[in-house]
Structure 1
Amino acid sequence: MRDTAYQALLSQLTASANDISGQWLDLEVNTPELLNLQSSHANSPREGSDDNPGQDGDTEAMNITREEIDAKLQLIEERLDRKVSDIATSVNELKASNERTVIALQNAKWWAIGTAIAVLAIFMGTLQWGLSAQKEENARFSGYIRDDIKSIGSDVRDISKAVLELRVKSEAEQGSPGK
């Protein structure tokens, strides 16, 4: 938003500067001293005049009165005043826009901080939940393993008893026929 306002102001200032410089150029060319109102040279022909090669001597005299020149100067002054006023208005609008942007950025800063805290809290809650779920799963898994180990232990005892009984029986059978 700031760049757009800046670009708009810059283009308006450039257009105003071009318009003003063109008006000043017109003003310098059309001043009474340069126009000289053709009063002293109106009827004196100039030899070899390059104003209009198709004609001999001077071209047609300019019939501009002092009142017309004053009116043109007044018009140029009014235009300049309007352009300066437009520039001042644009600068004030840009200042107001910048102030609104600064306020919005300050509010955005607090929103960003609040959002970061909320995301962190959600992350920590999810992590805590995951760890507690893992703890319960580990406890359940450990219980299964413990039950399996107990079962294997009792099976090993039963097998040991069976092997011992078979050994005793086999020793008893080997010892009784030979007596």
Structure 2
Amino acid sequence: MNKLIGLLTCLCFSTNLAVAQNKDASSIIKFGLFADTQYADCPSQNTRYYREALQKLDTCIEYFNRQEVQFTINLGDITDRKNSDLEVIKQHLSQLNHKIYHLTGNHDYKDITNNSVLYKQLSMPSEYYSFKKGDWVFIMLNTNEIASYANIAGTPKENEWNRMQEQIKQI
């Protein structure tokens, strides 16, 4: 299909994890996930409704709060075009009744020249981190570590990126 009929700006749901069927309720973890909010303070374009993402995010937040999830995970691409849009998103996320953990997506690196600034803005302890809830350990991976958009110029990651590009050319 050449055109997307609809655009899901914010995928949100909550889930329960239990260690085993015969474990008690204390081993159940209920958390929310959302991804690809891709908010931008700009007019809609084709099937992209950038400003409407805030309303969808609010719906997601209200749902998570009603479901009384223990925490939420943002899977990335919270903004679409510029880092300054992140402040508006963070204001909306402050309505969550629980902690939020972030991962970054490729769109989140726009206007960023130092990745650690982005991680700090999202209250991420580092680009890779983990946290524990009950008997569960959640490992947050940075899938943007070696990428042309992820501010690698002048770092050892730039050499890795160049090496990977050369290997791809040889295939």
TM-score range, shorter chain: under 0.3
When the two structures are superposed, what TM-score results if normalisation uses the length of structure 1?
0.15
- Higher helix residue share: 1
Return the TM-score normalized by structure 2. Answer: 0.15
Q: Per residue, is there more strand in 1 or in 2?
A: 2
Where relative contact order (Cα < 8 A, 6+ residues apart) is larger, the structure is: 1
